[in-house]
């Protein structure tokens, strides 16, 4: 390594390296000390909530406390390096949703470390915020992307099984939820069986949800077309048909959808008409191109007309 490279290596992550050196010196100094000596160590605080009707939603505050130990230095070092070392706070009976708890030396286990004792804990209290646990039934909401394969069509509305889930958690969070979405399912993945698996979206919810996996029922059949010709075009409601001439007088259209749906369409109920608003203000002998609409098409069947507009002429007054 050249002389120019050495300073750059030392400068990289210099704070971390300096802290490591400092800790090494500190531990070396502790080991050099003879006999039992008081030492302060930062220790995490963990809460053991034994009341099943409540849950911890905030805290403990602070999350770490300084504990002064007395005893052999080597044993204190062993305890400090043990990841299990913590002040374990047992809450057996919730007296209030906001609690101040006085920390007890006996809540920090020093068994297995001969001669080590807890002399003091600073600060001596922690704060906890708890809420009562509630359970509710919440409706699920379908969430899809993409389109069905062109060879398939819906026979009826998609659904979820189950359509509801049970949520459990802090009362305030449960009260804030009225519906839950599923993560989007891609309709292009639907097969002839019409079944997709989905997961309830629980991101940021903070609640237990059961079940988390649901089934999306996509009732499909082979798609089919049906040609219908010669449907008369009529004037809309409120328009005197005798004074309006429509050209062409009839149109052809194509129905598309699931085969049973398309075959079941009652053609006599199809109605093609000129909306009345399109004829407002027409003067005698005036001609106008206007849109046409169709009614009587059942759900899950689409219609495509050969033309989307017609010419209308109001007859001259006699």
Domains and CATH numbers, the chain: 30-132 (2.170.120.30), 142-218 (2.170.120), 223-314 (2.170.120.30)
The whole-number pLDDT of residue 39 equals 82
Alpha-carbon distances of 243 from 22, 86, 129, 149, rounded to whole Å = 101, 92, 78, 47
- Per-residue CA distances from 128 to 53, 105, 121, 231, 250 (Å): 15, 19, 17, 74, 77
Between 15 and 205, name the one with better pLDDT. 205
Residue 165 pLDDT exceeds 60: yes
Mean pLDDT within 18-30? 57
- Binned at pLDDT 50, 70 and 90, residue 251 comes out as very high
Q: What is the CA radius of gyration of the chain?
A: 38
- Which of these, 122, 133, 131, lies nearest to 99 by C-alpha position? 131
Q: What is the secondary structure of 253-276 as a DSSP string?
A: EEEEEEHHHHHT--GGG-EEEE-G
Task: Give the whole-angstrom CA distance, residue 32 versus residue 115.
Answer: 17
On whether the pTM is more than 0.75, the answer is: no
Distances (CA, A) of 61 to 1, 30, 83, 123, 128: 49, 30, 20, 10, 7
Closest CA to 213 of 179, 167, 145, 165: 165
196 near 190, Cβ under 8 Å? yes
Lowest average pLDDT, out of 70-79, 119-128, 183-192, 301-310, goes to: 70-79
State the DSSP code for 277: G
Tokens found for residue 1: 């390594």
């Amino acid at each position: 390594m050249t002389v120019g490279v050495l300073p750059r290596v030392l400068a990289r992550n210099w704070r971390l390296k300096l802290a490591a050196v400092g800790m090494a010196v500190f531990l070396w100094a502790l080991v050099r000390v003879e006999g039992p000596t008081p030492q302060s160590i930062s220790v995490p605080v963990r809460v053991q909530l034994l009341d099943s009707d409540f849950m911890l939603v905030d805290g403990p505050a602070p999350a770490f406390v300084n504990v002064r130990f007395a005893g052999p230095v080597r044993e204190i070092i062993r305890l400090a390096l043990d990841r299990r070392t913590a002040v374990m706070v047992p809450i057996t009976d919730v007296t209030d949703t906001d609690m101040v708890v006085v920390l007890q030396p006996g809540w920090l286990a020093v068994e297995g470390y001969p001669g080590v004792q807890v002399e003091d804990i600073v600060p001596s209290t922690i704060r906890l915020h708890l809420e009562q646990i509630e359970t509710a039934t919440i409706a699920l909401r379908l969430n899809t992307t993409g389109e069905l394969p062109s060879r398939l069509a819906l026979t009826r509305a998609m659904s979820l099984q189950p359509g509801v889930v049970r949520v459990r958690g802090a009362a305030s969070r449960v009260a804030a939820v009225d519906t839950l979405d599923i993560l989007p399912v891609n309709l292009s993945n639907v097969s002839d069986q019409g079944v997709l698996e989905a997961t309830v979206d629980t991101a940021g919810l903070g609640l237990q949800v059961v079940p988390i996996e649901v089934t999306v029922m996509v009732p499909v059949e082979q798609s089919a077309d049906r040609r219908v010709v010669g449907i008369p075009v009529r004037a809309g409601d409120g328009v005197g048909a005798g004074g309006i001439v429509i050209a062409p007088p009839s149109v052809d259209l194509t129905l598309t959808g699931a085969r049973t749906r398309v075959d079941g369409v009652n053609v006599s109920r199809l109605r093609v008409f000129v909306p009345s608003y399109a004829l407002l203000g027409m003067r005698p002998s005036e001609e106008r191109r206007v849109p046409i609409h169709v009614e009587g098409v059942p759900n899950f069947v689409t219609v495509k007309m050969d033309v989307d507009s017609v010419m209308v002429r109001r007859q001259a007054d006699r």
